[in-house]
Amino acid sequence: MILIYTSKNIKHKAERVIQEHGTNDVYEICDNLNITILKSNLGRIKGFLQYYKKQHHYLIQVNQKYQKFTKIIIAHELGHYFLHKNLNTFKMENCSLVLGEKLENQANIFATVLLPDYVLTNEASQLQNWSLNQIASFFQLPLPIVEHKVRHMNLLSSDITIYKNRLTMTNL
């Protein structure tokens, strides 16, 4: 059975995880859950969550090429752990691109809530005149994470609208 999560459900789930673990530090959360983090060359894949049934053990593989995104990748994979761990996401992505994209988007929303707000809050006045691409570049974060974080914090709401309008016009 596939659970349907709204952004609000995902936000509440991530907030409960932070509250239960007393932190939003992805390494501490993984340690508490006994999830092993491995870094290796994964080609184009940034990371993935893997389950070993015989040992009843989860691990997160992180591509060593994306060192500066390690925490974000782990947060994203924790999103899959808390939201989709009972699903075979590889199989689902091969059956439906739309469903695969939806699962990835949900994991991004989860990761966004785990990211500390203070990073953007401290720079909010400076960021008012920046595009989302500039913010993503400055903080070395993937654009979807920045979009969700900015929306979550109610920052730059007019810029998001302008950005989405540009995207829509580009796709025409």
Q: How far apart are CA 66 and CA 63, in angstroms?
A: 6
Per-residue confidence (pLDDT) for residue 1, from 0 to 100: 56
Q: How far apart are CA 123 and CA 141, in angstroms?
A: 15
Contact 61, 81 (CB under 8 A): no
Catalytic residue status for 147: no
Joined together, the tokens standing for residue 147 give: 């979009």
Joined together, the tokens standing for residue 33 give: 């859950």
Per-residue confidence (pLDDT) for residue 170, from 0 to 100: 38
* Catalytic residue (one of 77, 93, 123, 147): 77
DSSP tally for the chain: helices H, then strands E? 10, 3
Calculate the alpha carbon distances from 76 to 53, 105, 116, 169 in Å: 21, 9, 14, 29
Per-residue confidence (pLDDT) for residue 37, from 0 to 100: 97
Per-residue pLDDT tens listing for the chain (172 residues): 566 788 889 989 999 999 999 999 999 999 999 999 999 999 989 999 998 888 889 999 999 998 878 988 999 999 999 998 877 655 555 566 667 788 888 888 898 888 776 556 665 666 677 788 887 777 667 787 778 777 766 655 444 444 443 443 333 3
Show Cβ contacts of residue 49 under 8 Å, excluding neighbours closer than 6 positions: 58, 59, 60, 77, 80, 81, 85
